[in-house]
Amino acid sequence: MKRIGYCILGSLLLTVKAFAVKPDTVNIENQSVYSYTNGNVYQSARDKTVIKKYLDGLDENRLDQPNLVRIKLPSAAASDGKFYVSKSADYSNATITNIKKGDTECIIMNPIPQTLLYSKAVIGGKTVVEKQTFIDGRVRMIYVPSVKNVRDMGGWLTDTGQRVQYGLFYRGGELDFQEQHIATQEDIDELLRLGIGADVDLREESESHQTHSALGNNVPYIFKNHASSDYTAIKNDALKWKEEFQFIVNNLREGKSIYSHCIMGADRTGLQCFLLGGLLGMNIDQLIKDYELTSMAGKDYYRDCSKLILYMEYMNTRNGKNLTERFYNYFRNDLNITDKYIRDFRKIMLEGYESYLKTTDIEDIYEEEATNDDTIYDLSGRAIEKPAKGFYIQNGKKYLAR
């Protein structure tokens, strides 16, 4: 009988232990975002919009904010400490933030969806709480309170069955210039922590400082002066879209994530993301939802799918058996983008930077890019006006400048 009792007790202890380490699940999508993205399907850009149904309370609340992942402490912190967050149980490569005396909780900042995270709070040399948390949801809205409409382009399912990778391309509102749109240093630091290393500024001259990125002087920056109300920009701004796309791909190749913005991250940013999403293979339902999610940022940000009709009508005049092919032909023919740039963009955005590196070398990068192009490139793919001594690429061939 004792042996049976011990066995039962042992089983109970194992059960309790297993239950204790069972991960919590937190969906970082707020209820409005979750209901909107999962509650309907658009078949075409001419479908009647449903976004207004999901904007209740927008005047009092921002709906472009994620649900925060909060780790409660057993009691208010008696002294300062450290909070560790990692994808690994051994806390290798952990993100470490400070716990201040009196804190009652810690926050896992802007986690990537569909990941399991390990976290622990250490105060006075003792681990006072340790958690496993599964981050659920798909739409990754970024918590930087001083900036509106910031979100990760990742998570959308493409026509190949692949999902757009998180953490590579972010879209949002401006970080500087207009008084009501100036990011705090804390939020700038958070954007940099996310790996953002290049800035695409889609504003026009009257809206921008035009000289450098608000993220820092050392952050690569491109400014091409897009008019604020030009809905024919899909056709008329072809050269600008080309130069910005090349800038995006060149920086992605170097492992830098992108932040693209206009003033509100709505129209010009919305058009750019429409083009990039279509090239990656997002369908019309996803392209519309990605565009309309801007409406969650505030009553002045309302955008519905009617804005996409002109864009889609123009795209449907391009050759191609399906929507993705028509986007490809737009980039290839309208923007004169080489196949190599397109393949690299898709490779990085759909499979990740590490996958891209495994299948790429220097010769492969420049196989097609500069063919019939007198532009001089350095070995990182950047256009150079006055080359110094060293190796460069011109018309598809490497040469040594002396």
Tens of pLDDT along 258-298?
Answer: 999 999 999 999 999 999 999 999 999 999 999 999 999 99
pLDDT at 181: 86
What superfamily in CATH does domain 140-360 come from?
A: Protein tyrosine phosphatase superfamily (3.90.190.10)
Tens of pLDDT, residue by residue over 91-108, are 999 999 999 999 999 999
Q: Are 357 and 346 in contact (CB under 8 A)?
A: no
The CB density around residue 177, as the number of other CB atoms within 10 Å, is 16
Beta strands in 185-339 (DSSP E): 196-201, 221-223, 257-261
**Are the CB atoms for 150 and 175 separated by under 8 Å?**
no
* Domains of the chain by residue range: 67-136, 140-360, 368-402
Distance from C-alpha of 369 to C-alpha of 367, rounded to nearest angstrom: 6
pTM of the full structure: 0.86
Q: Lowest mean pLDDT of 31-35, 65-69, 128-132, 174-178, name the range.
A: 174-178
Nearest to 238 by CA among 104, 99, 337, 126: 337
Q: What CATH homologous superfamily does 67-136 map to?
A: Immunoglobulins (2.60.40.10)
- Backbone torsions φ then ψ of 147, nearest 5 degrees: -125, 135
Q: What sign does the dihedral 112-303-295-198 (CA atoms) show?
A: positive
| Burial (Cβ within 10 Å: 0-12, 13-18, ≥19) of residue 9 | exposed
For residue 299, what are its two tokens?
A: 């009553």
Per-residue DSSP letter, 168: S
Q: How far apart are CA 130 and CA 73, in angstroms?
A: 10
What's the pLDDT tens digit per position in 370-397? 445 567 766 655 667 677 777 767 765 6
**Which pair of structure tokens corresponds to residue 266?**
């709505």
> Which has the minimum average pLDDT: 9-23, 129-143, 178-192, 248-262?
9-23
Query: How confident is the model at residue 12, as a pLDDT?
Result: 47
